[in-house]
Amino acid sequence: MSEITLKGNKIHTVGTLPALGSDAPDFKVVKTDLSETTLADYAGKRLVLNIFPSLDTDVCAMSVRKFNAEAEKLDNTVVLCVSMDLPFAHKRFCGAEGLDTVVSASDFRYGNFGISYGVKIADGPLAGLLSRAVLIVSPEGKVIYTEQVPEIVQEPDYAAALAALA
C-alpha cells in the first residue's frame, strides 16, 4: 500500500508500483474503439504507461497532452494512457484535443490493471479510481522507470520519465 495525498489529505493505493527490473504485470484494458489491448501487444517496444484518475481534471488532461507531444519524437515507443474513464470519454477527449499519438484505454471492464500495478485508490473521495503514476516498460517487458506522484493534483516528472527513455 502506498500513501499519497489529495490536496494534502492522506489517501492510499491498494499496493505499490512494480519494482524496477521486475517483469511488468500483464494487463487487459479497453481502447477507444472498444477493442482490448494487453501488455503483449507492445512486445518489442518501449511502453510508457501514463496512469491517472480522470481525463476530466486539468492535471490529467495536461499529462495526456504532454505525453502526446513527446510521443511523436520517440522511436519504438508507445504511450498508453490509462484511467477508469469510459472508452467513450477517452475518445471524446482525444478527438476534441486532436491527440492522435497516444493510445488511450480504460480499466473499467476488468479493473485488474489498477490492482496489478498497485495504483487503484483504496480510500478517500477518489476510491476506485487510479492514482497518478508513470511507468516505463522496456521492449523486453521489464519495468525500467516508475513514479508514483505523491500529491495527486501535481503533474508527473516528465523530464525524469523522458530521460529514462534516452
Point out the residues that are catalytic: 60
In total, the chain counts a number of residues equal to 166
CA-CA distance, 50 to 134, in Å (whole number)? 5
What is the 3-class SS of 115-138, one letter each residue?
HHCCCEECCCCCCCCECCEEEEEC
- Read off the C-alpha cell for 70: 513527446
- Read off the C-alpha cell for 93: 477527449
Residues 6 or more apart in contact with residue 92 via CB below 8 angstroms: none
Calculate the dihedral angle through the C-alpha atoms of 4, 148, 162, 91, rounding to the nearest 10 degrees.
Answer: -90
